[in-house]
Structures are given as structure tokens and as C-alpha cells.
Amino acid sequence: LAQVVFQIPTTGMQAWWWAIVVVTVGAAWGRLAQPAHDGWVAATQGALDPQWNSLPVLLPAAGIVVGAASSFLHGRRHLKARARPAQPAPPRLQELIKAFGSIPNVALKYSALIFEGSRLPELSPAALVQENRVPGCVSRTWVSVSGDAALVRIAAHSEAQITRGLCALLVTGLDGLPAAEVANVDPAVLQEFGFGDTLTPGRNSGFLNIMLSIQRQARKLGESQVA
């Protein structure tokens, strides 16, 4: 749950929803703690230290503090993301989006994906390391971004044909661009491929994770050049 909460891009309004959830849980916990607290006091015949009498109040108060902190942190993350406006898809990626968007049925889309994957150059065995592994993919998948801030070289590999095809789309669409341009492409453009009903939820999620892994490596490469 923590991984989901802190990795999903969150708007200011969503941050407040998270805060409300935490406050509600804290308040509910405090309310549930009251009978237990009263029973504890009765069992000890009032011998409990008086400072513990405030426990049912402190629990929801703690929930409010945690909720406010969550809202603040998510708000900062949202503002930082707004400071780096996402760019539209680069021309080659737009061409691929247009081509796949025009394919009329599922079978042909799968055939086209497998064909694109068959054209993907092999990834060097030296790049098949854990740090290049894409998290959240149904099959084992790796991406490698090299080069410099002015021009990145992207390579990828997957053990599954369909996922290999998804890798090929991103390699073809993003390879050879400046690191900053790759890092700032809006991942939402992937929805324009129209794979939503064609691929399984796991593969749709994997497609996004491949994109995010490429962008993370490109951003790191660009920042290292600036430093």
C-alpha cells in the first residue's frame, strides 16, 4: 500500500483525499480504543496513570497530524511535477501511435506487436543486470539507456514476444533523442496506442513501467552530465 500511495502521481485534491482517509482511520481507531481504555481503567481499579486517560484523544489527533503531513508531501510532489511540464510525444512515437491506432482488430495488433519485437536488436548480456530490470512486468524485462545528455541510446529486451514488441515501440520512438526530451514525455501518451482493451491489465501496467524505467534512466543520465 505504501508503494502505491507514494509512487502514484497525485494531484492536490487527491492528496486531501488521502489526508481525509488517514484522519478518519485515526479517529475511528481512537473511538474503538475508548471501550478498551475504559475496561483497562476498571480492571486496574483506577490505578492507571492519569496521563493515559488522554489516549483516545491522542489517537485521532495523531491521525490528523499524519494526514496533514501526507497532504503536504503529496502537494510538494505535485508542484515539483508541475514545474517540469510534460512534453508531447516525439515525432517518431507519434507516427507509431497513429499507425497502431489505425489497426482495426485485436489479432492484427498482436501480429504487429510481435513483428516489431522481432526487429528489436538484442540487448548486450552485460546489460541484463538487476539495476536495468523493469519492475512490475509480467515477464522478465530489461531496459538500458546510455549515451549523454544530448543524445541517448535506448536498448531493451523481454522474454515474452508481446512485451518485447512493446519495448520495440518505445525504443523506436525515443532512441536518439536528448535525455531531457525523453524524460519529459507525458507517459499518458501510451494510452493513445489504444491497447487498453487489447492487452491484459498486467501488460498494460508493464508498458507503463517500461516507459517509466526508460525515463528514470534518461533523467539520471542527463543529471549526471550536468553535474
pLDDT score of 75? 47
Cell of 127: 546489460
Q: What is the share, in percent, of the chain residues with pLDDT greater than 70?
A: 60
Where is pLDDT greater, at 66 or 214? 214
Q: Measured between alpha carbons, how far is residue 154 from residues 143, 159, 204, 218 in Å?
A: 7, 17, 20, 9
Reply yes or no on whether 137 is catalytic: yes
Task: Yes or no: say if 70 and 22 are a contact pair by the CB < 8 Å rule.
Answer: yes
φ, ψ of residue 176 in degrees (nearest 5): 85, 5
Helix (H, G, I), strand (E, B) or coil at 128: coil
pLDDT score of 83? 43
Q: What is the pLDDT of residues 209-227, one digit of tens each?
A: 999 999 999 999 988 765 5
Please tell me which residue in 23, 137, 177, 199 is annotated as part of the active site.
137
Tell me how crowded residue 80 is: count the other CB atoms within 10 A of its CB: 9
Burial of 106-145, coded b for 16+ CB within 10 Å and e otherwise, reads: eeebbebbeebbeebeebeeebeeeebebeebbeebbbbb
Q: What is the pLDDT of residues 70-92, one digit of tens each?
A: 555 544 444 444 444 557 789 99
